[in-house]
Structure 1
Amino acid sequence: MSQQPQKRTWMVREDPEGQVIAVVHLRTESRGILLSSFAIDET
């Protein structure tokens, strides 16, 4: 079995308030940490 590391993981969550939060997880082969996270506010 060949193991393929996920480099980019997109997670989109919609809050009950009506806010759409998009979190971008960048995982590397040696380190799997939360690199960048931003929230998109829909008005």
Structure 2
Amino acid sequence: RVLLDRSFLLSYEDTPMILSVTPIAVSFSEGATFTVKATNLTSSTK
């Protein structure tokens, strides 16, 4: 969970939306949802 969170933070270091996504990811211990969200954001950001 921490590893995924760190990679996401580094990738979206300049994305303000991360603040909203980060808390959600922390809430979900599964991590699967977090990965999906990160992928969606990546497409939108790029």
Structure with higher strand content: 1
Larger Rg: 1
Q: Which structure is higher in helix share? A: 2
Q: TM-score range by the shorter chain?
A: under 0.3
